[in-house]
Amino acid sequence: MSENQFEQKNLIIEAAKTLGFSRIGFARASSLDQSAERLTQWLEMGYQGEMKYMENHFNLRKDPRQLVPGAKTVIVLSFNYATKNIQKDKNAPKIAKYAFGKDYHKVLRKKLKSLFSTIQEICPNCQGRYFTDSAPIMERDWAELAGLGWKGKNTLLIHPQAGSFFFLAEIIIDTELPYDSPMRDYCGSCRRCIDACPTDAIDKNGYLMDAKKCISYLTIELKSQIPDEFKDKMDNWVFGCDICQDVCPWNKFSTPHSEVNFFPKEELLDLTSQDWHALTEEKFADLFESSAVKRTGFNGLSRNLSFIK
């Protein structure tokens, strides 16, 4: 790599930090053969449940050069959403922290657009595309390769200095830049996430998730009725779940984010259990106007609220 390429990389890192991204890593664009094999085995076990989209565009998932012809570099970014804000009523139905503020897809997409424009100024003639949970990309695998953390026993990406409360985004470009190296796995003998999961979604040995049992899947992705076997096992979650992250020792190193778009409405935090169960469609539309919670819809949230009664 030339001195100019290292300078370009440093300028991109500086621009990303200015936009609020926490960390940025660079990996060589190539075919993820081993990751694709693990994905195939996971699909064959039927762990995807109703998420049929996981079976689609397999070649695109496997190789980013199918998404961006001539791709040389996968830039992976993390954006912190850790917070000390909590819902005030301890008995109220719970939503995952990532959904406290505005929908991260829209917030990060705007930042990625700006960063990509800067990259094109830094690297003349650079072409590429940017994504945040919006394309068939094995983003945690790429984040691992780019040195942003390791995939923990709960299958989420963990960084030793930041825990796991962060979003991931990718920019795939046809320009070669200096690459980073993966870091080792620091989960060790810990199994707190495995033992804490009330639905036994995580394999007893870790590193494998049966999505059909995951509370996040049951409250968001599942469109049919929640199976009765999970009655009294939902721990009051109605949109997503943070249990395996809340118990992870590495999250003691997470620090609260400063992104105004992710600050929760006080009204949301103030909702009592009674307020949640009396939620009307009009109130839902107002309260979650720009929130990721809209993804499940009023009917989906009502189903979840009824199930945990």
Handedness of CA 252, 246, 208, 172 (dihedral sign): negative
Tokens of 221: 């992705």
Q: String of b and e for 252-286 (b: at least 16 CB within 10 Å)?
A: eebeebebebbebbeebeebeeeebeebeeeebee
CA-CA distance, 179 to 221, in Å (whole number)? 35
103 is catalytic: no
Sequence-distant (6+) residues with CB within 8 A of 150 are 144, 157, 158, 182, 183, 184, 185, 186, 187
Q: Which residues 6+ apart lie within 8 Å of 213 measured at CB? A: 199, 200, 201, 230
Q: Are 69 and 20 in contact (CB under 8 A)?
A: no
- Give the N- to C-terminal CA distance of the chain in Å, as an integer: 60
Of residues 133, 180, 185, 275, which has the active-site annotation?
133
Tell the burial category of 220 from Cβ atoms under 10 Å away from its Cβ (0-12, 13-18, 19+). Answer: buried
Q: Tell me which H or E stretch contains 95.
A: strand 94-95
The single residue listed with the structure tokens 């993820």 is 32
Whole-angstrom distance, CA of residue 230 vs CA of residue 215: 9
Catalytic residue numbers, as ranges? 133
